[in-house]
Amino acid sequence: MIVSKDHPLANKTAVTFRELKDEQFIIPGSEFFHEQAFKQMCHGAHFRPHVLFRTPDIHVIKAMVAENLGISFLTSLAISPADQVTTLDITDDDQPHFRLSLARRETTLLSSNEEKLWQLLVKQGK
């Protein structure tokens, strides 16, 4: 979960999803796996979220959250130290788990950016 550094929840390190029922959400579009996880969390917390904006652009989401226009439900992999947001852990026991599988042929040559991404994902997976 991310919030603006100016948001009232920014001074917390963790929340239950139910605590977020009165918040405005900025979330990824339906092409992201976040959508299903977000619906599952809202259902488990027994509320219908107020979705202010949906976009497939994660950078737009983080910028809108940084401007305190709403909060968002993103994985920690989507957040970097350069983002001007505060992350909150969700303490609910029944939260979904994100699993990412990687495979590549050892004979495939990766571009510089692909290699950086590969190394980042391998490092995060350990």
What phi and psi, each to the nearest 5 degrees, are found at residue 117? -65, -45
The pLDDT score that the predictor gives to residue 125 is 65
Hey, where are the domains in the chain?
A: 2-90
Beta bridge mates, 89: 14
What pLDDT, in 10s, does the model give residues 14-56? 999 999 999 999 998 876 667 888 888 999 999 999 999 999 8
Against a cut of 0.85, is the pTM above it?
A: no
Helix (H, G, I), strand (E, B) or coil at 86: strand
User: What is the architecture of the domain spanning 2-90?
Assistant: 3-Layer(aba) Sandwich (3.40)
10 Å CB burial of residue 123 (0-12, 13-18, 19+) is exposed
**β-pairing, 89-90 with 14-15?**
parallel
What pLDDT, in 10s, does the model give residues 74-101? 888 789 989 999 999 999 988 777 676 7
pLDDT beyond 70 at 58: yes
Q: HEC states along 23-80?
A: CEEEEECCCCCHHHHHHHHHHHHCCCCEEEEEECCHHHHHHHHHCCCCEECCCHHHCC
